[in-house]
Structure 1
Amino acid sequence: MVFPDPLLHVDYSAIMARDDEKLHIVIFPWLAFGHIIPNLELAKHIAQKGHKVSFVSTTRNIERLPKPPPNLASLITYVKLPLPKVDNLPKNAEATADVPYDVVQYLKKAYDALQHPFSHYLESSNADWIFYDFAAFWVPSLASRFGMKTVFYSIFTPPFMAFMGPASYMIDNDPIRTKPENFTVPPPWVPFSSTVAFHYYEIMRIVDSVSDNDSGTSDTYRLGASIENCDLVAVRGCTELEPEWFQVLRDIYRKPVLPVGQLPSSGFNGGDENENDTWRGIKEWLDKQAHGRVVYVAFGSEAKPRQEEVNEIALGLEKSELPFFWVLRVRRGASDTEVLKLPEGFEERTKGRGVVWRGWAPQLKILGHGSVGGFLSHSGWTSVVEAVQNETPLVLLTFLADQGINARVLEERKIGYPVPRDKLNGSFTSDSVARSVRLVVLDDGGRVYRDNIKEVKNLFLNNQRQQKYIHQLLCHLRSRSHPKKGERVFRD
């Protein structure tokens, strides 16, 4: 049975007739900047249509966000909630970037303790809809007390969501995936041929996600319950780019699944003076490099390579003989005692040809510079979208979370080339790094990656299509019946 596209059943003429009806939408992302930023981009698009958005996060995270642009300042409101204290969570740690990977479970425990202050905020918010992230599986039960409807907004891609399977499998024990190696093959509910699956080393690095942890709830349960209990699912992606994956989601979820587009990073303002000074210094170095020859290296706010991996990456960049700009996070927060180090003498040997940058860097601007010819990336989807925005071909080196699934999708479309590595333990060599970056940036054999990323850009990032997705989403929200404002509905 094929579950139909919910947008086909929306009476747009009736919705357009009451286009002046504006919504109040609450957006509540998980405490990771890889989640917060795509949620912020969605907030911006919604506000541009004249709707009010309350963007809720913890105090320190809100203070680290850019201000809304002046034309949207009256429509986007930041709401700060104090993060409750829990054992084993360091002081001022309010995002995944602030703590080592094994401490994230305590951040989830603190996040779950936000239920009371979030409920208190909702009581007086008079909101129509709540958009929530995978970790906040408890939001629908709060929303129902106040007659509010909910959208589970997935910043994970349609292929990843489809690979994870039906909500019931994630909530209860999956009868098919009883051991890690079961995640290394495509699941039976994907009815077409695909290579989209984890490699063994990728699933082993995140095996705690599918089992219990000290937060009290596994990530797979959170994801399954979030899907099961929402009124509709919104997914970052494009039906034109991946129609077959959206169809799988509609078939296995049996509820409306709407695309919101890729939500490319746009920035909210011109940046503060320190940010502009940072960019000026980086730009001066990039301006001196040959066109299309610089390898940009960055692994996002969460992915932290192991020490032996850093060694091979560094030596590989050295052997490649290409100029490089490497944004290296040597630790995840002040409590991280495993500080990464570069091989002895590496920076001296590559001085002038390469830069190791240990602070924040303006990634979108760097990728847009003409000297950058390749991006050695972890396959985080925001980084992927930014690479496509700037037609920068990808070299893929995965570490955590959904990155392995993203990499398979990019490999299938030949817009990203994976660094060859052992599929069991994930090891790779400096030689494989050197060959990979030279292939994608320089060699004739890698031209397909340089050409394909240009060709796919319109599918990824068509502004007219992006606006259509947001318009259709808002039409769908307005089409759903809801109580009059101020009228509470109490349900079990």
Structure 2
Amino acid sequence: MESITVHPTMPNNNKDIKLHIAMFPWLAFGHMIPYLELAKLIAGKGHKISFISTPRNIDRLPPLPPKLSALITFVKLPLPQNSNLPEGAEATADLPEDQVPHLKNAYDCLTQPISQFLKSTNPDWLLFDFAPYWVPEIAQTLGIPTAFFSIVIAAAVTFLGPTSPEIPADDRKLPEDYVVPPKWVPFPATVAWRFFEVLRLFKAISGDETNVSVVYRFMETLRGCDLIAVRSCAEFESEWLSLLQVIHGKPVLPVGVLSTTPKADDENETWRSIKDWLDRQSKNTVVYVAFGTEAMPSQEEATEIALGLEKSGLPFFWVLRTKHGEDAVKLPESFEERNERGVVCRSWAPQVKILAHDSVGVFLSHSGWSSVVEALTFGRPLVLLPMSNDQGLNARYFEEKKVGYELPRDEQNGSFTGQAVAESLRMVIEKEEGRVYRDKAKELKPLFGDRERQNEYVDKFLEYLTTHKGLDVVQHEGTLLHDSNSSNGHALV
């Protein structure tokens, strides 16, 4: 895995330089999968990737295309033992939410193995996630430049706070301080948490004696990295990408939305039975319901969703999984048996293939960025039901952009009714007032599904990494490193 040394006398043709890039995502599949998608795009251009995670997580990742297997090396670092973690728990999907801090503590004990790996392989760049805030110091000691690769949108990262000394510091202390856009946002915005969302997250925001806070991890990561890379594009959130650069005083590069497409060769019995049911439904009528691998509705929420689906009269396909270590939610008596209109799937389902099917008319989603990218790739409008982490911030921005309608909820406790579920779904899927959401999703479909545009973002990203390989990273304060000639994009100069 040796990197190519470029001598001063060699012609400066960056396309001929092949990099060795190490990647170190957080131990959540919602993080590892986007990192792997970017890794595949980069490896497809001939660069070497070292993808670092724990053994069980790597074994659970989807298989690589054969043509990339020689360029992507999976590096297995055993997770240090932690008495608070169940045996075999190596990802957030393996744990109830209240045990995830123990996983972070175990993850923080990987400093020595990471140091040894970086020292022995000397990659040209290290792309890392928000959780290992201690990585930049290790890399800096070894002379390895680092990029924080954010799998969440720039609007959500910007909300968390600035690190530039020229921007007023974050003085938010109370839950009430987080329900309005922060003072460093100079343009009209609605991106903020609801009160009930802050209460659910406040321990993670503030931290305690057993663990540093999520915000601290983000801020130290943003302060220590040489470059900020974001899973986004200038055409979708140009103002926020520009502001992110201003409040941290360092280069920001969008790498594209990393949309996935259905695999033609991925035919199996599970998909065939799902497709058979979808084929029998009318075009643009099905409600697809799914909340990702991490967000699970509570018993009360699941009951109201079920009542809402029943009241809506619409056909539905509901993926209702149970997180490891938690009890499965129960649906109203005989709901699954009496609902000939719908399917409740208690196991994994091929989400991309389902969203690609013409029968799907609306996606009831938790507002996770990966799910929204997949929906917009196929022009599906959304009803948004955020549950945790960045999802509430996402939902505010997606509502602003009119790509999704946020389900009405009680501001204090987050409760909602089955009636609200039914009315929201019917409005977005068939009413005149929901046309704005249907039209916006169709409008964004060419952007999110544009493979050529995605390719250009990766090319620009690699051009920057190659130019600054082994060099001091140049600080481009005030100049956003994306295409300012794009239809919606503009740079701060």
Q: In the alignment, what sits opposite 2:289?
A: 297
Report the AA paired with residue 127 of structure 2: F
SS of equivalent to 1:242: helix
Aligned to 1:84, which of 59, 80, 83? 80
Relative to structure 2, which stretch is displaced further, 183-192 or 214-223? Answer: 214-223
Residue 57 in 1 paired to residue 49 in 2? no
Q: In the alignment, what sits opposite 1:10?
A: none
Q: In the alignment, what sits opposite 1:149?
A: 145
Residue 286 in 1 paired to residue 278 in 2? yes
Residue 176 in 1 paired to residue 171 in 2? yes
Residue 364 in 1 paired to residue 359 in 2? no
Report the AA paired with residue 315 of structure 2: P
Question: Offset of 1:458 from its aligned partner?
Answer: 3.0
Structure 1 residues 257 and 216, CA, compared in 2 at 3 Å: closer, same or farther?
same
Report the AA paired with residue 443 of structure 1: K
Matches within 5 A, 1:250-269: 250-266=245-261
Say whether the 8 Å CA contact 2:377–2:446 is kept in structure 1: no
Report the AA paired with residue 357 of structure 2: H
SS of equivalent to 2:380: coil
Residue 29 in 1 paired to residue 25 in 2? yes
What is the CA–CA distance in structure 2 between the aligned matches of 1:162 and 1:235, rounded to whole Å? Answer: 11
Q: In the alignment, what sits opposite 1:208?
A: 203
TM-score by length of structure 2 reads 0.90
Residue 100 in 1 paired to residue 96 in 2? yes
Q: In the alignment, what sits opposite 1:243?
A: 238
* Structure 2 gaps, min length 5: 1-9, 473-493
Q: In the alignment, what sits opposite 2:366?
A: 378
Say whether the 8 Å CA contact 2:38–2:258 is kept in structure 1: yes
Structure 1 residues 353 and 359, CA, compared in 2 at 3 Å: closer, same or farther?
same
Q: In the alignment, what sits opposite 1:456?
A: 444
Residue 339 in 1 paired to residue 328 in 2? yes
Residue 161 in 1 paired to residue 157 in 2? yes
Report the AA paired with residue 383 of structure 1: S
Q: In the alignment, what sits opposite 2:385?
A: 397
Q: In the alignment, what sits opposite 2:312?
A: 320
Question: Offset of 1:268 from its aligned partner?
Answer: 7.9
Structure 1 residues 325 and 424, CA, compared in 2 at 3 Å: closer, same or farther?
same
What is the CA–CA distance in structure 2 between the aligned matches of 1:447 and 1:382, rounded to whole Å? Answer: 24
CA deviation map 1:26-58 (0-9, x unaligned): 011001111111111110111111110111111
Aligned to 1:191, which of 186, 194, 197? 186
Count of residue correspondences: 461
Say whether the 8 Å CA contact 1:264–1:386 is kept in structure 2: yes
Structure 1 residues 320 and 63, CA, compared in 2 at 3 Å: closer, same or farther?
same
Structure 1 residues 133 and 466, CA, compared in 2 at 3 Å: closer, same or farther?
same
Report the AA paired with residue 219 of structure 1: V
Question: Offset of 1:147 from its aligned partner?
Answer: 2.0
Report the AA paired with residue 308 of structure 1: E
Structure 1 residues 140 and 270, CA, compared in 2 at 3 Å: closer, same or farther?
farther
Structure 1 residues 278 and 16, CA, compared in 2 at 3 Å: closer, same or farther?
farther
Aligned to 1:68, which of 64, 67, 81? 64
Say whether the 8 Å CA contact 2:286–2:317 is kept in structure 1: yes
What is the CA–CA distance in structure 2 between the aligned matches of 1:339 and 1:194, rounded to whole Å? Answer: 38
Report the AA paired with residue 74 of structure 1: A
Residue 111 in 1 paired to residue 107 in 2? yes
Say whether the 8 Å CA contact 2:89–2:95 is kept in structure 1: yes
- Which contiguous aligned blocks of 4+ residues in structure 1 show a shift greater than 6 angstroms? none
Aligned to 1:306, which of 298, 321, 344? 298
Say whether the 8 Å CA contact 1:184–1:200 is kept in structure 2: yes
Relative to structure 2, which stretch is displaced further, 210-219 or 120-129? Answer: 210-219
SS of equivalent to 1:207: helix
Say whether the 8 Å CA contact 1:163–1:186 is kept in structure 2: yes
CA deviation map 1:130-155 (0-9, x unaligned): 10000011111221232211111111
Q: In the alignment, what sits opposite 2:337?
A: 348
Question: Offset of 1:270 from its aligned partner?
Answer: 3.9
Report the AA paired with residue 188 of structure 2: S
What is the CA–CA distance in structure 2 between the aligned matches of 1:360 and 1:329, rounded to whole Å? Answer: 7
What is the CA–CA distance in structure 2 between the aligned matches of 1:50 and 1:26, rounded to whole Å? Answer: 14
Structure 1 residues 430 and 15, CA, compared in 2 at 3 Å: closer, same or farther?
farther
Report the AA paired with residue 311 of structure 1: T
Aligned to 2:455, which of 467, 473, 483? 467
What is the CA–CA distance in structure 2 between the aligned matches of 1:339 and 1:277, rounded to whole Å? Answer: 25
Say whether the 8 Å CA contact 1:136–1:222 is kept in structure 2: yes
Say whether the 8 Å CA contact 1:376–1:396 is kept in structure 2: yes
What is the CA–CA distance in structure 1 between the aligned matches of 2:288 and 2:234, rounded to whole Å? Answer: 30
Aligned to 1:428, which of 379, 391, 416? 416
Structure 1 residues 428 and 15, CA, compared in 2 at 3 Å: closer, same or farther?
farther
Aligned to 1:477, which of 465, 468, 471? 465
CA deviation map 1:244-283 (0-9, x unaligned): 1111111100011111111112478944xxx722111111
Structure 1 residues 214 and 391, CA, compared in 2 at 3 Å: closer, same or farther?
farther
SS of equivalent to 2:114: helix
Question: Offset of 1:483 from its aligned partner?
Answer: 6.9
Say whether the 8 Å CA contact 1:183–1:198 is kept in structure 2: yes
Say whether the 8 Å CA contact 2:161–2:170 is kept in structure 1: no
Residue 121 in 1 paired to residue 117 in 2? yes
What is the CA–CA distance in structure 2 between the aligned matches of 1:269 and 1:248, rounded to whole Å? Answer: 40
Report the AA paired with residue 153 of structure 1: F
Structure 1 residues 32 and 481, CA, compared in 2 at 3 Å: closer, same or farther?
closer
Say whether the 8 Å CA contact 1:264–1:385 is kept in structure 2: yes
Report the AA paired with residue 86 of structure 2: P
Report the AA paired with residue 148 of structure 2: F
Report the AA paired with residue 46 of structure 1: I
Identity %: 54
CA deviation map 1:360-408 (0-9, x unaligned): 1100000011111110000000000000011111010010000011111
TM-score by length of structure 1 reads 0.90
SS of equivalent to 1:114: helix
Structure 1 residues 174 and 213, CA, compared in 2 at 3 Å: closer, same or farther?
farther
Q: In the alignment, what sits opposite 2:222?
A: 227
Larger RCO of the pair (alpha carbons < 8 Å, separation 6+):
1
Say whether the 8 Å CA contact 2:162–2:169 is kept in structure 1: no
Report the AA paired with residue 167 of structure 1: T
Q: In the alignment, what sits opposite 2:434?
A: 446
Relative to structure 2, which stretch is displaced further, 311-320 or 463-472? Answer: 463-472
Q: In the alignment, what sits opposite 1:39?
A: 35
What is the CA–CA distance in structure 1 between the aligned matches of 2:294 and 2:372, rounded to whole Å? Answer: 15
Report the AA paired with residue 338 of structure 2: R
* Structure 1 gaps, min length 5: 1-13, 485-492
What is the CA–CA distance in structure 2 between the aligned matches of 1:46 and 1:269, rounded to whole Å? Answer: 22
Q: In the alignment, what sits opposite 2:4?
A: none
